[in-house]
Chain A
Amino acid sequence: MLFRPTGYGFEVDSDPAQSRDSRPVEARPEHVVELIATLLEYRSAEEAMRRRTGDSMRMGVTDLQALRFLLRAQKEGRPVSGRDLADHLGMTSASVTAMLDRLTKSGHVLRTPHPTNRRSNLITATPGSDDEVRHTLGEMHKRMMVAAHALSADDARMVRDFLETMTTVVDGIDRSPHRG
Chain B
Amino acid sequence: MANSAPEAETHYWYSDDAERERSVAVLEAMRTYRAAESAMRRRTQISMGMGENDLLALRYLITAQQDGRSIGPKELTAYLGISSASTTVLLDRLERSGQMRREHSPFDRRALILVPTATTDEEVRAALGDVPERMVEVASHLDAEQAKVVIEFLKRMRSAVDEIDSDVPSEIAPASKD
Interface residues in chain A, defined as those with a beta carbon under 8 Å from any beta carbon in chain B: 8-13, 16, 19-21, 24-26, 28-57, 131-132, 134-140, 143-151, 153, 155-160, 162-167, 169-176, 179-180
Assess the B138–A135 pair: CB atoms within 8 A.
no
Alpha-carbon gap, A37 to B161, bound state (A): 16
User: A45-B56, A147-B160 are known contacts. Are A134 and B174 too (CB-CB below 8 A)?
Assistant: yes
User: A9-B141, A52-B165 are known contacts. Are A151 and B170 too (CB-CB below 8 A)?
Assistant: no
Assess the A55–B136 pair: CB atoms within 8 A.
no
The reply to whether the CB of B135 lies closer than 8 angstroms to some CB of chain A is: yes
User: A33-B128, A34-B151, A140-B163 are known contacts. Are A19 and B37 too (CB-CB below 8 A)?
Assistant: no
Assess the A37–B174 pair: CB atoms within 8 A.
no
Tell me whether chain B's interface is mostly helix, strand or loop, or mixed: helix
Task: List 5 extra interface pairs beyond A30-B144, A38-B151, A137-B164, CB under 8 A.
Answer: A37-B121, A37-B124, A43-B38, A160-B26, A164-B32
Assess the B59–A41 pair: CB atoms within 8 A.
yes
The reply to whether the CB of B78 lies closer than 8 angstroms to some CB of chain A is: yes
Of chain B, the residue at the smallest CB distance from A46 is: B161
In-complex Cβ contact of A44 among B23, B29, B55, B135 (8 A): B55
In-complex Cβ contact of B134 among A16, A39, A180 (8 A): A16
Assess the B149–A10 pair: CB atoms within 8 A.
no
User: A21-B137, A135-B168 are known contacts. Are A147 and B156 too (CB-CB below 8 A)?
Assistant: yes
Q: How far is the CB of B30 from chain A (nearest CB, A)?
A: 6
- Residues of B near A21 (CB, < 8 A) are 133, 136-137, 140
Assess the B138–A48 pair: CB atoms within 8 A.
no
Scoring A38, A50, A57 by chain B CB atoms within 10 A of each residue's CB, the highest score goes to A38
Assess the B44–A158 pair: CB atoms within 8 A.
no
The reply to whether the CB of B148 lies closer than 8 angstroms to some CB of chain A is: yes
The reply to whether the CB of B66 lies closer than 8 angstroms to some CB of chain A is: no
Assess the A131–B174 pair: CB atoms within 8 A.
yes
- Residues of A near B111 (CB, < 8 A) are none
- Residues of A near B139 (CB, < 8 A) are 28, 32, 35-36, 39
